[in-house]
Chain A
Amino acid sequence: MCLYPHGFIGCGMAGISEQKRCEIDGTVFNPFSPDFVREPHATWLKLVSEYPIAWHRELNMWVVSSHELCGDLLKSHDFSPNYRLWEHALPEKLEAEKLDFDRMTDHSLFMVTQKEHLRLRKLTMPAFSKPVMSQIDATIRDLIVERFDEIGSPEAFDVYTEIASKLPVRSIARMIGVSAEHEAMFQKFANCVVLAARINLTPEQRETAMREGQEGIDYFREQIALRRALAHPGEDFLGALIAAEEDNDSLSDWDIIALISSLITAGSDTAIDLHTYLINGLLSHPDQYSLLKQQPELMENAIVELLRHGSMGKFPFFRFAVDDTEFGGQQIRKGQSVLVNLSAAWHDPAKWENPQTLDITRDLNGNLVFGAGPHFCIGTYLVRAQARIMLEEFMRRFPDAELSGQDGDLEYDYAHHNARRITRLRVKTNLEPVRKVA
Chain B
Amino acid sequence: MKKWICVICGFIYDEAEGLPEHGIAPGTRFEDLDADWVCPECGSPKDAFEEYED
Q: Do A and B bind each other?
A: yes
A residues at B contact (CB < 8 Å): 71, 74-75, 118, 121-122, 125, 128-130, 365-366, 370-374, 376, 380
Alpha-carbon distance A125/B50, docked complex (angstroms): 12
Chain B residues near A122 (CB-CB < 8 A): 7
Q: Is B43 an interface residue (CB 8 A)?
A: yes
For window 2-45 of B, CB contacts with A under 8 Å fall at 5, 7-10, 40-45
Chain A residues near B45 (CB-CB < 8 A): 75
Chain B residues near A130 (CB-CB < 8 A): 10
Q: Which residue of B lies closest to A368 (CB)?
A: B43
Chain B residues near A372 (CB-CB < 8 A): 42-44
Is B44 a contact partner of A376 (Cβ separation < 8 A)? yes
Is A128 a contact partner of B10 (Cβ separation < 8 A)? yes
Alpha-carbon distance A183/B41, docked complex (angstroms): 33
Chain B residues near A129 (CB-CB < 8 A): 10
29 A–B contact pairs at CB < 8 A? A71-B43, A75-B44, A75-B45, A118-B7, A121-B7, A121-B8, A122-B7, A125-B5, A125-B7, A125-B8, A129-B10, A365-B40, A366-B43, A370-B42, A371-B42, A372-B42, A372-B44, A373-B8, A373-B43, A373-B44, A374-B8, A374-B44, A374-B48, A376-B8, A376-B9, A376-B41, A376-B42, A376-B43, A380-B9
Most buried by A among B5, B8, B48: B8
Chain A residues near B41 (CB-CB < 8 A): 376
14 more contacts with CB within 8 A, not counting A373-B44, A374-B48, are A75-B43, A75-B44, A118-B7, A121-B7, A366-B43, A370-B42, A371-B42, A372-B42, A372-B44, A373-B8, A373-B42, A376-B9, A376-B43, A376-B44
Whole-angstrom distance from the CB of B52 to the nearest CB of chain A?
Answer: 10
Alpha-carbon distance A191/B41, docked complex (angstroms): 31
Chain B interface, DSSP helix/strand/loop, else mixed: loop
Alpha-carbon distance A125/B7, docked complex (angstroms): 6
Alpha-carbon distance A374/B40, docked complex (angstroms): 14
Alpha-carbon distance A380/B44, docked complex (angstroms): 16
Q: Which residue of B lies closest to A118 (CB)?
A: B7
Q: Which residue of B lies closest to A372 (CB)?
A: B43
Alpha-carbon distance A122/B44, docked complex (angstroms): 13
Alpha-carbon distance A125/B6, docked complex (angstroms): 9
Alpha-carbon distance A213/B42, docked complex (angstroms): 33
Q: Which residue of A lies closest to B43 (CB)?
A: A372
Chain B residues near A374 (CB-CB < 8 A): 8, 44, 48
Alpha-carbon distance A130/B10, docked complex (angstroms): 9
Q: Which residue of B lies closest to A74 (CB)?
A: B43
Whole-angstrom distance from the CB of B27 to the nearest CB of chain A?
Answer: 23
Is B43 a contact partner of A125 (Cβ separation < 8 A)? no
Chain A residues near B48 (CB-CB < 8 A): 374
Among all A-B residue pairs, the 8 with the closest Cβ atoms: A372-B43, A376-B42, A122-B7, A376-B9, A376-B8, A129-B10, A125-B7, A373-B43
Whole-angstrom distance from the CB of B24 to the nearest CB of chain A?
Answer: 14
Whole-angstrom distance from the CB of B21 to the nearest CB of chain A?
Answer: 9
Chain B residues near A128 (CB-CB < 8 A): 10
Q: Which residue of A lies closest to B48 (CB)?
A: A374
Alpha-carbon distance A125/B9, docked complex (angstroms): 7
Whole-angstrom distance from the CB of A241 to the nearest CB of chain B?
Answer: 15
Alpha-carbon distance A129/B41, docked complex (angstroms): 14
Chain B residues near A376 (CB-CB < 8 A): 8-9, 41-44
Chain A residues near B9 (CB-CB < 8 A): 376, 380
Whole-angstrom distance from the CB of B9 to the nearest CB of chain A?
Answer: 5
Q: Which residue of B lies closest to A370 (CB)?
A: B42
Q: Which residue of A lies closest to B22 (CB)?
A: A365
Whole-angstrom distance from the CB of B15 to the nearest CB of chain A?
Answer: 19
Alpha-carbon distance A372/B42, docked complex (angstroms): 5
Alpha-carbon distance A372/B41, docked complex (angstroms): 8
Most buried by B among A122, A125, A366: A125
Alpha-carbon distance A376/B7, docked complex (angstroms): 11
Chain B residues near A365 (CB-CB < 8 A): 40
